[in-house]
């Protein structure tokens, strides 16, 4: 199979790394690596119309994905997720162009499937057979099932108060699960300490270059579903930040190949008031974030006190003319009721946080009634 994947490039210092061997972060500066493609070699004749005959899954964008040989793809059916025009909720807010991209339809019920499908496929391509991950929950579930399908071992470290759904699903899929007394950042330290001895490859958010490639397909789908015209605003619940960073990167690639223009949606990063390091950094005008102390929130996916990609998230927000907002757990809970009541869409707390943020941003004038707004429901309702 012909592929266009050229090399890995440090997102901070620009140093080039080989993609034919396993890589984590930049060997010089320790920051995340980005996959780069020979986009100039894509045939000029490659046009959006060519996608139409392809399966409705994220693999339809294979020219812009890092898997070199399709036989390594590990797939559980990563369907294109629907983009739903939420008219009743829009009426409620006086916002006619309100849409939700519903990521809950993906395998394991969250958008984490996109990133882990890519990371596990790439691990298979590189003959890696032991993976380890610190997780707040959904990434662990997604890794466990994809690793099971690929016959690769999955070693999971997560907080002991992670939702039961995540703990149980990992165990059902045969992963080695360790529950720790601490947060995802503490779990990350354990993986870092033990990985050399255990022979594990670390698939932590943005310490592995391919999860973000899976996440960027959210941006590709969004662009395609809107006829290659991006919306005015994207509201996105932010933990480790791969979603925002991935979409940002994906839009840049689409512009390079001439499929979209210069316009970018304003990225609005939503965090929980109980763990809002990116919001704090944004409000303080900083380009990186301080670790958050005593992180707590019902939105477990947002309970990420420190993100290695902080500078990339803040850059995407800044360059897109967006902003970052915190919402309380009470507001999240209200939104978890409002959305299904108005639209019949059941959400995870993280998805509901975007609705709570919208309310805030409409009242302070950041979003106006003429904006076309897309909320990301990053996962389904789970107990
Ligand atoms: C992981 C997670 C998030 C945060 O995603 P990032 O792209 O890492 O910021 C949001 N919502 C849900 C449901 C998650 O599982």
Cut 0.95: pTM above it:
yes
Measured distance CA(136)–CA(145) in Å, rounded: 16
How many residues does the structure list for the chain? 383
Q: pLDDT tens across 116-129, in order?
A: 999 999 999 999 99
Q: 104 CA distance to ligand 1 centroid (A)?
A: 12
Half-sphere exposure of 313 (CA within 13 A, CB side): 32
- Positive or negative, the CA dihedral 197, 201, 202, 207 is positive
Three-state DSSP class for 267? Answer: strand
User: What is the predicted pLDDT for the residue at 217?
Assistant: 98
Q: What is the crossing angle of helices 211-225 and 112-125, to 10°?
A: 130
From the CB of 242, is ligand 1 less than 6 Å away?
Answer: yes
Work out which ligand 1 atom sits closest to the CA atom of 137: 15
Mean pLDDT of the chain: 97
User: What is the predicted pLDDT for the residue at 206?
Assistant: 96
- Positive or negative, the CA dihedral 49, 54, 56, 59 is negative
Measured distance CA(361)–CA(322) in Å, rounded: 11
The conformation of residue 82, written as its DSSP 8-state character, comes to P
Q: How far is CA 167 from the centre of its chain?
A: 20
- Average pLDDT of the segment spanning 184-213: 97
From the CB of 237, is ligand 1 less than 6 Å away?
Answer: yes
Pairing of strands 98-102, 83-85: antiparallel
Q: pLDDT tens across 270-287, in order?
A: 999 999 999 999 999 999
From the CB of 110, is ligand 1 less than 6 Å away?
Answer: yes
**Residue 2 banded pLDDT, cuts 50, 70, 90:** confident
Phi-psi region of 9 (alpha: psi -120 to 50; beta: other; left: phi over 0): beta
User: What is the predicted pLDDT for the residue at 1?
Assistant: 63
Give the residue among 189, 289, 181, 173 at the shortest CA–CA distance from 238.
289
Q: pLDDT tens across 202-259, in order?
A: 999 999 999 999 999 999 999 999 999 999 999 999 999 999 999 999 999 999 999 9
Measured distance CA(349)–CA(328) in Å, rounded: 11
Q: pLDDT tens across 42-87, in order?
A: 988 889 999 999 999 999 999 999 999 999 999 999 999 999 999 9
């Amino acid at each position: 199979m012909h592929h266009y994947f050229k090399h890995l490039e440090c997102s901070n210092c620009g140093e080039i790394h080989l993609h034919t061997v396993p890589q984590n972060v930049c060997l010089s500066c320790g920051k995340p690596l980005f996959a780069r493609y020979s986009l100039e070699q894509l045939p000029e004749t490659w046009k959006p119309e060519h996608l139409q005959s392809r399966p409705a899954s994220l693999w339809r964008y294979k020219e812009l994905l890092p898997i070199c040989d399709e036989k390594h793809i590990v797939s559980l059916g990563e369907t294109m997720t629907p983009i739903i025009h939420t008219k009743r909720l829009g009426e409620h807010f006086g916002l006619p162009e309100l849409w939700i991209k519903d990521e809950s339809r993906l395998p394991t019920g969250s958008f984490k499937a996109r990133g882990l499908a890519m990371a596990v496929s790439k691990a298979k391509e590189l003959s890696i057979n032991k993976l380890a991950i610190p997780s707040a929950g959904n990434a662990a579930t997604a890794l466990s099932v994809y690793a099971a399908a690929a016959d690769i071992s999955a070693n999971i470290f997560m907080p002991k108060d992670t939702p039961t759904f995540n703990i149980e699903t990992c165990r059902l899929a045969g992963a080695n699960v360790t529950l720790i007394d601490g947060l995802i950042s503490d779990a990350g330290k354990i993986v870092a300490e033990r990985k050399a001895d255990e022979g594990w490859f670390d698939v932590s958010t943005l310490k592995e270059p391919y999860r973000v490639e899976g996440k960027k397909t959210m941006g590709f789908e969004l662009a395609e579903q809107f006829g290659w015209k991006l919306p005015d605003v994207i509201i996105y619940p932010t933990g480790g930040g791969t979603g925002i960073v991935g979409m940002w990167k994906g839009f840049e690639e689409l512009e390079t190949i001439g499929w979209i223009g210069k316009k970018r949606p304003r990225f609005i990063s939503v965090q929980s008031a109980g763990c809002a390091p990116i919001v704090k950094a944004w409000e303080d005008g900083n380009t990186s974030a301080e670790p958050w102390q005593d992180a707590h929130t019902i939105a477990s996916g947002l309970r990420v006190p420190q993100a290695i990609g902080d500078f990339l998230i803040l850059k995407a927000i800044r360059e897109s003319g967006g902003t970052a907002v915190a919402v309380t757990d009470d507001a999240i809970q209200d939104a978890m009721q409002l959305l299904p009541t108005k639209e019949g869409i059941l959400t995870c707390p993280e998805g509901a946080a975007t609705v709570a943020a919208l309310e805030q941003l409409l009242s302070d004038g950041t979003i106006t009634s003429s904006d076309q707004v897309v909320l990301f429901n990053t996962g389904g309702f789970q107990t």
